[in-house]
Amino acid sequence: MNKGICYIVGAGDCNRLFIYPTDNDMVIAVDGGYRYLEGQRIDLVVGDFDSLSFVPEHENRIQLPVMKDDTDMLFAIKEGLKKGYTLFHIYGGTGGRNSHTIANLQCLSFLAGCGARGILFDGDASTTLIQNDSLTFSEDCEGYLSVFAFGGSAAGVTLEGLKYTLQDAVLACDMPLGVSNEFIGVPATVSVKDGSLLIIHEAC
């Protein structure tokens, strides 16, 4: 297990990059995400480079075939897991083609299934996923918090410290009951006993 952060930058929308890697961290550029990181530290470059239109000259580069089962992003995530990372900060994983955004949401689910956690950053919004787990937010958090069942119904859902609370409830994946909750200046906790929750924090 590596206690650092694996930063991954893809080719999607990337308005802000908050990447300040330490010696314990890893920075992976995924295909077109290489452009966002030019001039900064990059530990690994991966991709088929179809969105970049050229192959970067980097000493740690893995060039992937265009025809493959794993997306470039999922391949990068697996490389981080091999290095022992359990926390992934992902930029450039939303926007652009909707299919890529959905694929990256599924990558969050893949990480949760591996006992790791991924966070997709998009401007002032961050998205993560928990599976049979809980997540606590500090009293300093502001804005909206939305919680959605992912991949089927989620049972034993509890929301505490938010404007709208739930206790041991069931959220269905076809009913957006958990949209646009609000922080109220106290620590907030989201937990699920059986299932997966997609959690979106919009710091408006």
The pTM for the full model equals 0.94
State the DSSP string of 125-186: EEEEEEES-EEEE-TT--SEEEEEE-SS-EEEEEEESBSS-EEEEEE-TT--TTTTEEB-SS
Tell whether 118 and 136 lie within a shared domain: no
pLDDT one-digit tens code per residue, 152-188: 999 999 999 999 999 999 999 999 999 999 999 999 9
Residue 1: pLDDT band with limits 50, 70, 90? confident
pLDDT one-digit tens code per residue, 17-46: 889 999 999 999 999 999 999 889 999 999
> Which CATH number characterizes residue 182's domain?
2.60.120.320
Final residue belonging to a domain, choices 123, 140, 165:
123
Domain span at 118? 6-123
Q: Dihedral angle at the C-alpha atoms of 46, 39, 14, 31, nearest 10 degrees? A: -20
Average pLDDT, the chain: 94
Kindly state the tokens that stand for 179: 């949209």
Kindly state the tokens that stand for 44: 């690994």
Give the chain's end-to-end CA distance (angstroms, integer).
Answer: 34
Tell whether 65 and 96 lie within a shared domain: yes
Final residue belonging to a domain, choices 60, 88, 123:
123
Tell whether 53 and 109 lie within a shared domain: yes
Indicate whether 1 belongs to any domain: no
Tell whether 116 and 155 lie within a shared domain: no
For the chain, percent of residues with pLDDT exceeding 90: 82
C-alpha span between 80 and 95 (Å, rounded) = 23
CB 185 within 8 A of CB 195: no
Instruction: Tell me how many domains the chain contains.
Output: 2
Indicate whether 119 belongs to any domain: yes
Q: Which residues contact 65 (CB under 8 A, 6 or more apart)?
A: 48
DSSP state of 75: H
Final residue belonging to a domain, choices 84, 102, 123:
123
Beta-strand relationship, 87-91 and 117-122: parallel
